[in-house]
Amino acid sequence: MIKFIKGKGGNFLSFKVALLGNPNTGKTTLFNVLTGLNQHTGNWAGKTVLKSVGSYVYEGQKYEVIDLPGTYSVVSSSAEEEVARNYLCFANPEVVVVVVDATNLERNLNLVLQLLEIKSNIIVCVNLLDEAERKKIKIRLDLLEEELGVPVVGISARKKEGISNLLEDISNVAKGEVKTNPYLVKYNLEIEEKIKLLEGRLKAFIPPMINNRWLALRLLEGDEEVIFSLEESLNKNINKEVLS
């Protein structure tokens, strides 16, 4: 039994850490490494998609880890993607760890870019580094970190390598000790103007934890699911107020 020591942030509350990533990137392997036996499977808000929750203690602070379903995207709407997206937007985890496959970085970075549009408290965790090495793939983690503007950490979950670096990064981001500057995709002038316009209107009544730029983009896409989820959580009709 690990005793609780008052953390640096001065509270006994646990930080929420969400694990996200494409299918087969070793998310669940990492989840098991982080939480050991302290986990249980839960059912998420009326959906049949399961998510696992576990916890660990690092430097006296408790962290609750949520293993979200593997997805290629968080904007097209399969049940898994909706679970992942709604968790990010409405449960507001302190840290989001995106697990990417070092042997197939290009495919995985699509999800990373989408997530950077939603959240800034992101860590990109490049997994399967051992396998990449075997395939003679070399990844410049420092350059990737510079380009993406968020911490990038290389690990091999199966061999339990790099885990201490990851734990340190999670702790730093959770406590706000690292300033991130996420890379945002720039759209063409017309879209950017519309984004600005919508952002201005959204500011008035959207809680600050939700990213208005991202929401504006979804509204421009006519994403009905996100509008519905948001209306449900705010109890207001957005279409009338914003899109008129």
Interaction site with another protein (CB under 8 A): 72-73, 75-78, 103-104, 106-107, 110, 221
Nearest approach in angstroms of CB 74 to another protein is 9
CA distance 55 to 163: 15
DSSP letter at 109?
H
Are the beta carbons of 162 and 129 closer than 8 angstroms? yes
- Measured from the CB atom, the residue of 22 and 55 that comes closer to another protein is 22
Least distance (Å) between residue 63 CB and another protein: 30
**Among residues 78 and 164, whose Cβ is nearest to another protein?**
78
Closest contact distance (angstroms) between CB of 49 and another protein is 17
The CA angle 68-104-96, to the nearest 5 degrees, is 30
Quote the CA–CA distance of 155 and 162 in Å, as a whole number: 4
Kindly tell me which of 74 and 89 has the beta carbon lying closer to another protein: 74
* Burial (Cβ within 10 Å: 0-12, 13-18, ≥19) of residue 166: buried
With respect to another protein, which residue has the nearer C-beta, 146 or 221?
Answer: 221
Question: Considering the complex, what minimum distance in angstroms separates the CB of residue 217 from another protein?
Answer: 12
Closer by beta carbon to another protein, 80 or else 94: 80
Strands (DSSP E) along 59-195, which ranges?
A: 61-67, 95-101, 122-127, 152-154
Q: Is the CB of 63 or the CB of 214 nearer to another protein?
A: 214
Dihedral sign (CA 233, 235, 236, 239): positive
Closest CA to 98 of 189, 161, 45, 166: 166
- Closest distance to another protein from the beta carbon of 77 (Å): 6
Q: For another protein, which is the closer residue by CB, 61 or 71? A: 71
| Strand intervals (E) in the chain | 15-21, 39-43, 50-58, 61-67, 95-101, 122-127, 152-154
Give me the least distance between CB of 102 and another protein, in Å please: 11
